[in-house]
Amino acid sequence: MVLASAGVAVVPARADCPPPAGDMSMLVEPAVRCREPAPDMPPFRIGVEALAGTQRRDVPLNGVGFGVAIPIDVALTRVVGVGARLGYQVAADAGRDDDGDGRDDDNRENHRALLLVVGPRIVLHTEAARSEAWRVEASGGWLGVLTGDGSSGPIAELAFGRQVGSFTVDHSMAGHGTGTEAALTLRLQQGFGGASDYRALLVGATLATEMWARLPEGSRPRRTRPDVEHTFGGGIDMGVAMRENASSFVPGASLYVGLPFGRVIEARAQAELFHVGGEENRDGADVVAFLGGVHLGRWFPVFLEVLGGYGLTASTRPGPVGDSGLFEITAGLQLPNLLGCGVGQFVGQRTRVELGSVPEGRERLVVVGAVIGLSYDSLVRAAECWP
């Protein structure tokens, strides 16, 4: 109880302001008189990002690139912020096998570089209580080459992504808490000056936490239908390359984002990374593939997925597979809300086939295997989970 004595307000002891308990503890905030002042620090986001895609330079590279990065963002307003990314990126040299032994005849150092960029961030929240938002980034900075051919120089980066997560209320401060987020991001990079020949298109998967996060005034974690229904997820797979002479294991991983149309049909875009082993002592190949297609059976226990796209190969040329079109079909079982809050699991049989012409002396790549993974459905999350 607030007492007034000689015109001075007295804030009650914390013992008089017990926090909510039980199932309502995530939803109910203490009375205004029991809240501490809002923190002076702006919302602060830090995470880790894994990247894969294509990197090109005028120097000989095989075209496939990988990387890791640490993003740090500070929110200046509800929508606008500023951020920085420190990244490490690598692309192998363009190996050539002219003597036919299946090994790189001129093995050079891989192209390794550090990347530091800073710039504005635009975060368009579609449901703040679930940390759901579209993210747009524009950055500039420096690409520093550590090893391999190619020069260092300025670099610009544009990025577009989608994040989801959860918001944990801090009951001592009105509308504040901690956000836990996962995001998929498409990044376009272009070098300038000495690095003007550098260009890259990368897909990133990020896990991040946001401290001192804020809810809009008067909002509460609640069940709301998403403005844009979407799904995303990923899996790991293990297959076998079917060859006449010798088969080899083909491990891989994939990330996808989907736009559902009702209860059955879902349009999907998927990025994949898999490794094809070489025969005997020959070099293998890493493939980054970008595919699109349809997923049938959004909420049904069985599903069918048909995708087509293109794969970019990092290998000694000629290798066990080349840059080519790909066709993929997956069928299996799924439980869309097995883990709760819209997070489900799926398992299926996946067949991947190389399309187009195949050089003489090399067999067409056909991979048969299994895939297991996790899925997220924004509409199921809204219906089944507080917040």
Residues 351-367 pLDDT 10s? 999 998 888 777 888 99
Residue 192 and residue 297 in one domain: no
Residue 280 and residue 236 in one domain: yes
In a domain, 6, yes or no: no
Within 10 A of 309 (CB to CB), how many other CB atoms are there? 18
Residue 190 and residue 302 in one domain: no
Residue 174 and residue 204 in one domain: yes
Residue 209 and residue 238 in one domain: no
Q: What total number of domains does the chain contain?
A: 2
Residue 193 and residue 47 in one domain: yes
Residues 209-257 pLDDT 10s? 998 887 655 455 555 677 778 898 999 999 998 877 656 788 999 999 9
Q: Which domain holds residue 89?
A: 43-214
**pTM, full prediction:** 0.70
Residue 141 and residue 255 in one domain: no
User: Which residues have a Cβ under 8 Å from the Cβ of 100 and sit 6 or more positions away?
Assistant: none
| Residue 39 near residue 176 (C-beta atoms within 8 A) | yes
pLDDT score at 28: 42
Q: What is the CATH number of the domain that holds 282?
A: 2.40.160.20
Residue 208 and residue 61 in one domain: yes
| Residue 84 near residue 49 (C-beta atoms within 8 A) | no
pLDDT at residue 32 is higher than 50: no
pLDDT score at 213: 80
- CA–CA distance, 148 with 291 (Å, rounded to integer): 30
In a domain, 118, yes or no: yes
DSSP assignment letter at 353: E
| Residue 133 to residues 126, 164, 186, 291, 376, Cα–Cα distance (Å) | 5, 7, 15, 24, 15
| Residue 68 near residue 90 (C-beta atoms within 8 A) | no
Domain boundary among 165, 184, 214: 214
Mean pLDDT, residues 310-318: 73
- The dihedral over CA atoms of 295, 310, 160, 305, expressed in degrees to the nearest 10, equals 10
In a domain, 15, yes or no: no
Residues 94-123 pLDDT 10s? 555 555 555 555 566 778 899 999 999 999
**Long-range contacts, stretch 32-39, CB < 8 angstroms, 24+ apart:** 32/174, 33/2, 34/172, 35/172, 35/173, 35/174, 36/172, 36/173, 37/173, 38/173, 38/174, 38/175, 38/176, 39/173, 39/176, 39/212
Sign of CA dihedral 51, 73, 234, 126: negative
Domain boundary among 214, 239, 259: 214
